[in-house]
């Protein structure tokens, strides 16, 4: 280190400093990155540094002339990447991704508005490149042009590695499992930086592309045979009972079944739902099947009857796949399909994924009047969200399929005093305490929404379906949950806590509580059959909940499963009547079935196998017969 001449700065050092400062200034001036504390600000400040050190550090191995050229070229390329994100962000309020580059409609929209997106002052984004070019031409005395020794290079890259690990470690403390929860691009950019994010995005895309490239239609044969062998005939009385009616599907954020018909501090937690259930079909043994994708996973399962991936979110990693989702099928059957969510359209990559699912319209943040007064926690309050959505429903072509994604009952369950209809639970656990008032708030929002549907004449011509998207109280709070429930939260009880409400309300139909074991994967075929649409040729792992032949068997993403008599979790079989472990032989007939379903679903997603399914339908039933003969040979 003593060989360094500290009185002068090298060209590579100058380039790193200029790009580092420019990137941070761009973060603060061109992107709307929300900072909540000093640690997040510090991470934002340092996150470009490790990438810049590594990429520009390569110049240390080059001779002076080539080094200067490399630094100039690299500086311009990095500036171009940053500027491309700035321009894209101005239009889409989002960061560039590899899948986005293949969304030709998005890019054409951007191109048509390029004159409005650019300004003369944008040259400032390349100011550092201009400075570096002048330095190379003028060779000022304060710049050092000496050669770097092996020791210099080693020290340089050790510092770069140390900063990279420090950045990632600090980010993980601020946002655990950061790299496996790739649903929020702003979160990734805020923590690992724009440049490292693009490298990670390329890694995900190349991995996905490789798996897709190696796949072929023959892989769909076994899956298709399995699914059609397990197809359950719909109930004759229920099939088509809601034909041509509107469908209003409501995702109830973090709502678990244990709050239904339950009280806290002597007050009902869900008074409206408790009454609504009496006039509806209520499935009391219905389980969420999400993994790390949480709400996006629930959307994926409900609309595709496929399982989510065990790591990451399908919405992010495989948004470009071909799917045969409910919105796409209903669009082909004369429905207008829409999703409504008063949040940033890019969150969970919905703006891209919804196109793959076949939605006609996505009502997102710009379609709502969102203010500080009508927002809390993660965004717009549910009461205001539903109220403003009524107008959107009235304007939709009929019949419509409209999915609502609520938000207020979201961790950390913040709520102003003016919106609390019940008092919090009293324990030493703030999360559990605050959960109940936010559930109660959403319950009130649903009540007001149903009343508005009646007032606007939308109620009688619609079926209303409500489901909990995923758990709200994690296993980190088992001790407090045990106090509330009055029992220890064992693995058996924890699995039972994964039950979420599932309610189908058909105006004019009598209510009925059904105890059949079921899950989110059963929603798609159930809805389609109610509307009179046959699903016999669909690739669905779920089955109609009203079918007399429905198998009471539900698989969770971690491999756990529930049957009529048993729960299998953490390699232990439990008797549902006693809640106690029993001989694993009782669960063995289902272990292989659960494993096969998850693996089959993964193959479909990783290989984008449904792109071959359309070919099968066009070529007729002989497609699979021929494939089987080929495989046999």
As annotated, the active-site residues are 295
DSSP 208-247: HHHHHHT--TTHHHHHHHHHHHT--PPPTTTTTTTTT-EE
Q: Please name the residue that has the structure tokens 């099939």.
A: 239
Return the CA Rg of the chain.
Answer: 28
First to last CA, the chain: 68
- Measured over the CA atoms of residue 312, residue 313, residue 319 and residue 325, the dihedral's sign is positive
Residues near 617 by beta carbon (within 8 Å), at least 6 away in sequence: 537
Instruction: Give the residue among 390, 343, 393 at the shortest CA–CA distance from 365.
Output: 343
DSSP 394: H
Distance CA 433, CA 411 (A): 12
Residues 187/192/195/198 CA torsion (nearest 10 deg)? -60
Rounded-to-integer distance, Cα 179 and Cα 316, Å: 12
Joined tokens for residue 571: 């390699």
Q: Which residues does 280 contact at the CB level (< 8 Å), separation at least 6?
A: 464, 503, 504, 505, 506, 509, 511
H or E, element range at 249: strand 246-252
Beta-bridge partner residues of 144 = 10
Whether 577 and 285 have beta carbons less than 8 Å apart is answered as no
What gap in Å lies between CA 609 and CA 620, rounded to an integer?
17
Contact call for residues 304 and 479 (beta carbons, < 8 A): no
User: CB 543: neighbour CB atoms within 10 A?
Assistant: 26
Residue 315, token pair as written in the block: 């919405």
Residue 204 in contact with residue 317, Cβ under 8 Å? yes
Q: Which residues contact 140 (CB under 8 A, 6 or more apart)?
A: none
């Amino acid at each position: 280190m003593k060989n360094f001449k500290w009185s002068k700065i090298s060209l590579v050092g100058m380039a790193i400093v200029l790009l580092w400062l420019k990137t941070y200034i761009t973060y603060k001036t061109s992107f709307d990155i929300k900072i909540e504390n000093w640690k997040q600000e510090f991470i934002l400040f340092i996150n470009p540094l490790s990438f810049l050190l590594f990429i520009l550090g390569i110049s240390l191995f080059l001779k002076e002339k080539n080094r200067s050229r490399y630094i100039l070229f690299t500086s311009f390329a990095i500036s171009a990447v940053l500027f491309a994100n700035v321009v894209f962000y101005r239009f889409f309020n989002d960061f560039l991704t590899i899948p986005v580059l293949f969304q030709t409609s998005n890019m054409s929209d951007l191109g048509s508005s390029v004159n409005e997106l650019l300004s003369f002052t944008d040259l400032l984004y390349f100011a550092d490149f201009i400075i570096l070019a002048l330095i190379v031409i003028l060779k000022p005395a304060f710049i050092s042009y000496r050669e770097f020794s092996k020791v210099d290079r080693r020290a340089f890259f050790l510092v770069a590695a140390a900063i990279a690990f420090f950045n990632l470690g600090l980010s993980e403390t601020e946002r655990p499992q950061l790299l496996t929860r790739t649903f929020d691009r702003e979160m990734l950019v805020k923590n690992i930086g724009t440049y490292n994010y693009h490298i990670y995005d390329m890694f995900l895309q190349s991995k996905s592309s490789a798996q897709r490239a190696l796949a072929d239609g023959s892989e769909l044969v076994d899956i298709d045979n399995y699914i059609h062998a397990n197809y359950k005939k719909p109930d004759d009385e229920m099939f088509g009972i809601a034909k041509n009616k509107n469908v209003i599907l409501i995702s109830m954020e973090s709502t678990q079944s244990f709050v239904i018909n339950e009280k806290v501090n002597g007050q009902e937690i869900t008074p409206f739902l408790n009454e609504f259930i009496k006039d509806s079909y209520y499935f009391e043994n219905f389980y969420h099947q999400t993994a790390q994708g949480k709400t996006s996973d629930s959307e994926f399962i409900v609309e595709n009857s496929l399982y989510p991936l065990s790591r990451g979110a399908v919405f992010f990693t495989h948004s470009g796949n071909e799917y045969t989702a409910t919105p796409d099928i209903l669009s082909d059957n004369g429905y207008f399909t829409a999703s409504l969510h008063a949040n940033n359209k890019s969150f969970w990559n919905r703006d891209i994924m919804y196109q793959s699912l076949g939605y006609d319209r996505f009502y997102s943040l710009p379609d709502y009047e969102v203010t500080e007064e009508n927002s809390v926690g993660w965004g717009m309050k549910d009461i205001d969200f539903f109220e403003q959505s009524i107008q959107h429903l009235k304007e939709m072509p009929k019949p419509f399929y409209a999915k609502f994604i609520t938000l207020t009952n979201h961790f950390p369950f913040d709520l102003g005093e003016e919106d609390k209809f019940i008092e919090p639970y009293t324990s030493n656990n703030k999360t559990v305490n605050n959960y109940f008032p936010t559930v109660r708030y959403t319950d009130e929002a649903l009540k007001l929404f149903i009343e508005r549907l009646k007032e606007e004449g939308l109620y009688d011509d619609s079926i209303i379906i409500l489901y909990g998207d995923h758990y709200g109280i994690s296993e980190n709070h088992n001790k407090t949950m045990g106090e509330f429930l009055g029992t220890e939260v064992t693995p058996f009880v924890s699995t039972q806590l994964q039950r979420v409400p599932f309610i189908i309300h058909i105006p004019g139909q009598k209510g009925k509580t059904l105890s059949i074991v079921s899950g989110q994967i059963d929603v798609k075929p159930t809805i389609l059959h109610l509307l009179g649409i046959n699903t016999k040729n669909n690739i669905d792992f779920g089955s109609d909940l009203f079918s007399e032949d429905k198998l009471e068997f539900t698989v969770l993403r971690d491999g756990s499963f529930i049957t009529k008599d048993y729960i299998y979790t953490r390699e232990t079989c439990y008797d549902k009547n006693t809640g106690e472990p029993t001989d694993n032989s009782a669960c063995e007939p289902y272990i292989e079935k659960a494993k096969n379903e998850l693996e089959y679903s993964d193959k479909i997603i990783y290989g984008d196998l449904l792109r071959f399914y359309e070919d099968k339908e066009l070529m007729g039933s002989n497609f699979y017969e021929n494939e089987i003969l080929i495989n046999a040979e």
